[in-house]
Amino acid sequence: MRKTILNSVIVTCFITFTLTSINTNTKNSIDFILLWTQSWIIAASISSIFNIYIIPYLYKKKVKRVLKNIFLKDQAL
């Protein structure tokens, strides 16, 4: 879990840096760093929420459904 969260934070770091550098016309490096940091914090928060709450919930739901189907098949035999 920690490795997944760390990987997603690093990936969002690179993605937001690339998108900020493409979409920003500022000559001042401080403005660029502030915009990039703000974008990165927002993106990292969203990806962390997905990794902590939403993806495990969907995974558990899928596992329960698969186990239920296996159990029902065993009863039919």
SS (H, E, C) the chain: CHHHHHHHHHHHHHHHHHHHHHHCCCCCHHHHHHHHHHHHHHHHHHHHHHHHHHHHHHHHHHHHHHHHHHHHHHHHC
pLDDT of residue 74: 57
Tell me which of 77 and 58 has the higher pLDDT.
Answer: 58
Indicate whether this model's pTM tops 0.95: no
- Nearest partner of 19 among 39, 34, 38, 33, judged by Cα: 39
For the chain, the structural domain boundaries read: 2-76
What's the pLDDT tens digit per position in 11-48? 888 888 888 888 888 778 888 888 889 888 888 888 88
